[in-house]
Structure 1
């Protein structure tokens, strides 16, 4: 499971909810979670912001501040 999917599920969000919050299509969220497409730098920023995390926390596997 990708960190993006894990964080999304931890918040009980659907792919559609994350897509809406990050301004990325639901289809692209699905592809990102399954490793089928590259996560562009602008998408990385939007996903991290939507999930309330830094890009480093989200994409380098570090624990979020929320988790302690």
Structure 2
């Protein structure tokens, strides 16, 4: 299963970002392979629609769970 965690940076030391649609990065963790991917969020500065666009972004990576602030 893949889990997306909203993050303010692209490292394991980065903090949880309280915002979903406007977070800086999504840290994607694969519970089966133990792989980690840091995905920049291109929607963070969008004028509108950042939430739905971010849902589509993580869904395109086959994410099944989301952890956000």
Larger helix share, 1 or 2: 1
Higher relative contact order (CA 8 A, sep 6+): 2
TM-score normalized by the length of structure 1: 0.29
- Give TM-score scaled by structure 2 length: 0.28
Tell me which protein shows more strand as a share of its residues: 2
